[in-house]
Amino acid sequence: MSTFQIDFGETKRIIGIDLGTTNSLGAFLDLTGPKIIPTATGGTIVPSVVSNIGNEIVAGDNARALLIAHPDLTVYSVKRLMGRGVDDIQEELKLFPFRIAEGSENVIRLKLGDKTFTAPEISAFILREIKRNAEVYFNEEITQAVITVPAYFNDAQRQATKDAGRIAGLEVLRLVNEPTAAALAYGLDKRQNGIIVVYDFGGGTFDVSILKLHDGIFEVLATNGDTHLGGDDIDNLLLQIALEDIATEWSQPEIAKDHQAVQTIRRAVIDAKEKLSFAPEVFVTLEYKGQQYNRAINRELFDKLITPIVQRTLEPCRNALKDASLTHEQIDEVVLVGGSTRIPLVRAAVEALFKAKPHTELNPDEVVAIGAAVQAGILSGDITDKLLLDVTPLSLGIETMGGVVSKLIHRNSTIPASASETFTTAVDGQHNVLIHVLQGEREMVRDCRSLARFDLKGIDPLPAGLPKIEVRFLIDANGILSVTARDGRTGKEQTVEVKPSYGLNDEQVEAMIQESFEKAEEDFKERQVREARVEADRIVSAVEKAKRNEAFWTLPEDERGAIERALNELLVVYHSDDYGLIRIRMEEVDHVTHHLAEIIVNSAVSGVLKGTRI
């Protein structure tokens, strides 16, 4: 691709990460273009599943493998909980086996075995897995990343994603909206100008974005979506039907309470759903504790079942068109993203709505990660001919008299965007003012999403109405809000204390970062000890074997004594945690057995020690 002018030089590498509900992927950009970072098992996908196996937390394939055997120690689809409060997720709790820990009033904590974690911490385990894959692949430390989020994510959900990155030891240089990332991935070799629609139907979220392409500038005109609508919902629909069916067939009315059974059935219906995109009829087949279940499902029935879900994606599409002041005739291209767009009914519905044959050339599972890598290339300066101009998906406002929201920055405003407002006091001598910031399209506070309360502190005591506090609301290129204030009379910066309505405050995130660093050190130490012991085992058994060789008895007595002593000393420290000491004693054994090894090898009496380190 001749458009890339790449000079990686000494600068740090930035990776792109698609942190998905079901699957996550890492990608990077090199001289030949964007590529997916291979996983430990040689695949491309890191399942967004995390499991607590005793003393260790595993993520990805290893965790997914544990989902059926240890559903209580494993968590999936955690993205659904990002930036949300317990009250928001009551619907989710009916369908997902999230185990909410006590003390989740302010921020949701999930039970995972004997530990509890917040959603950003669990996401951090997934990110860390990708970071590690990248580090193995490049053989260098990776500390910077671009992470994708659903376009319709609100401020709290974005902040939670950024927190997850920080906890994982990644500096998140940019949050990019998933549909926009997909457009970047497609735009690489596509048309120079035109209007494109990105329809992104993933595992747990739905987004639609309309973009105008203008000589390398990707300008988002409008975005819309539903952050709780995805393939998960289809799975749950099929799961409920299968559960009812099986409860009757196996005469086990309580089957839905058996977590292992539920996960086995869930796996089976997902397999069937995926196959149904390519075959007119499939079987939901499974075996659990000696019992069999076999049920045919055809495309017609499946389509009927999922029609309401597919319909729910069309309303946001129409709204986005309206916001962009466009009609479907003006759309030049439609791009499909996300695993759920493999479903024929979904494709047909999109085609019917936009009257255009959608693009499906790129792998819908990979296209977002690829786009994130392209954005990483833009940030690193390796790509200079492309630029993304994204928008904020939701209007930002403040609470005014009577619980009414006064909008300051409207939805679909290009970001970074700002708005200023002057506040004053209502009572003589009042020295702080509380500003309640909300996100949403409705008129009333109760119908919008509370983001945070900003406390303007240290206002000079003056008669009511006299202080003039100028407050500036700024949404940055990540879609995240910051608030600054200054005294309009003195021009002095005013302190603003942020009380987020959902999610973690700065101190909590810092504490988690600290903990994860300590944890990383602990992990490192544990691995070192384990490796040292494995090596010690090998040495001890090799020496024991050599001692049985007749050559051993040809050695002078003091030499034999030295070998015995060295071996004993190694065994003494073997169970300690001091891997450095274990290694010193191993070297000692190595040293004193050198002569013995030589004799054995030279006399070719036997090959026992040949090929070993001794």
Q: How far is the CB of 483 from other proteins (least distance, A)?
A: 14
- Considering the candidates 155, 163, 178, 235, report the single residue annotated as catalytic: 178
Instruction: Please identify, using beta-carbon distances, which residue of 174 and 585 lies nearer to other proteins.
Output: 174
Counting every residue written for the chain, the total comes to: 614
Instruction: Name the nearest CA neighbour of 128 among 512, 605, 597, 504.
Output: 512
Q: Nearer Cβ to other proteins, position 101 or 477?
A: 477
The Cα 307–Cα 481 span in angstroms is 37
Is 315 assigned a catalytic role? Answer: no
Among 418, 430, 549, 606, binds other proteins (CB under 8 A): 418
> ω before 179 within 30° of 0 (cis)?
no
Q: 328-332 contacts: CB < 8 A, separation 24 or more? A: 328/353, 328/354, 328/355, 328/356, 329/355, 330/195, 331/195, 331/196, 331/197, 331/210, 331/355, 331/356, 332/191, 332/194, 332/195, 332/196, 332/356
Determine the 3-state secondary structure of 210 from DSSP. strand
List 65, 195, 314, 389, residue binding other proteins (CB under 8 A): 389
Q: Looking only at residues 123 through 142 of this chain, which bind other proteins when binding is defined by CB under 8 A?
A: none
Catalytic: 559? no
Determine which helix (DSSP H) or strand (DSSP E) holds 563, and give its type and residue range.
Answer: helix 557-573
Piece of 294-302, 372-380, 393-401, 541-549 that binds other proteins (CB under 8 A): 372-380
414, 484, 528, 549: which one contacts other proteins (CB under 8 A)?
Answer: 414
> How far is the CA of 193 from the CAs of 190, 216, 236, 415, 435, in angstroms?
9, 8, 41, 21, 43
**Minimum CB–partner distance for residue 274 and other proteins (Å):** 37
Q: Which is nearer to other proteins, 477 or 601 (CB)?
A: 477
Answer for which of 8, 115, 193, 214 binds other proteins (CB under 8 A) is 214
Phi-psi domain of 292 (left: phi exceeds 0; alpha: psi -120 through 50; beta: other) = beta
Instruction: Please identify, among the stretches 250-258, 416-424, 492-500, 518-526, the one whose residues bind other proteins according to the rule CB under 8 A.
Output: 416-424
Nearer to other proteins, 214 or 312 (CB): 214
- Per-residue contact track with other proteins, 471 to 500, x per CB under 8 A? ---x-xx-----------------------
State the minimum distance, in angstroms, from the CB of residue 367 to other proteins.
20
The residues in 65-124 that bind other proteins, with binding defined as CB under 8 A, are: none
- What does the DSSP assignment read for 442-502? SSBGGGSEEEEEEEEE-----STT---EEEEEEE-TTS-EEEEEEETTT--EEEEEEEESS
For residues 547 and 600, give the distance between their C-alpha atoms in angstroms, rounded to a whole number.
11
- 87 in active site: no
One of 119, 417, 456, 566 touching other proteins (CB under 8 A): 417
Q: Which is nearer to other proteins, 359 or 410 (CB)?
A: 410
Q: Which stretch binds other proteins (CB under 8 A): 212-220, 335-343, 518-526, 589-597?
A: 212-220
Residue 424 interacts with other proteins (CB under 8 A): yes or no: no
Tell me, what amino acid is at 361?
A: E
Which pair of tokens denotes residue 493?
């910066």
Structure tokens at 346: 């979904």
For 219, the token pair is: 């300008």
Of 171 and 460, CB closest to other proteins: 171
- 148-167 residues in contact with other proteins (CB under 8 A) are none
The correct pick among 49, 59, 173, 369 for binding other proteins (CB under 8 A) is 173
Closest distance of CB 370 from other proteins, Å: 18
DSSP 1-24: -TT-----TTSPPEEEEEE-SSEE
184, 386 in Cβ contact below 8 A? Answer: yes
Distance from the Cα of residue 427 to its chain's centroid: 47
Number of H helices, E strands in the chain: 14, 26
Q: Which residue among 253, 280, 308, 381 contacts other proteins (CB under 8 A)?
A: 381
Evaluate whether 35 touches 28 at the Cβ level (below 8 Å).
Answer: yes
To other proteins, the closest distance from the beta carbon of 417 in angstroms equals 5
Is residue 233 flagged as an active site residue?
Answer: no
The number of residues that bind other proteins (CB under 8 A) is 24
Q: Which of 280, 403, 416, 465 binds other proteins (CB under 8 A)?
A: 416
Closest approach of other proteins to the CB of residue 152, in Å: 20
3-state secondary structure 453-467: EEEEECCCCCCCCCC
From the list 129, 155, 200, 382, the catalytic residue is: 200
Active site residues: 18, 79, 178, 200
Sites of contact with other proteins (CB under 8 A): 11, 173-174, 214-215, 217, 375, 378-381, 387-389, 413-419, 474, 476-477
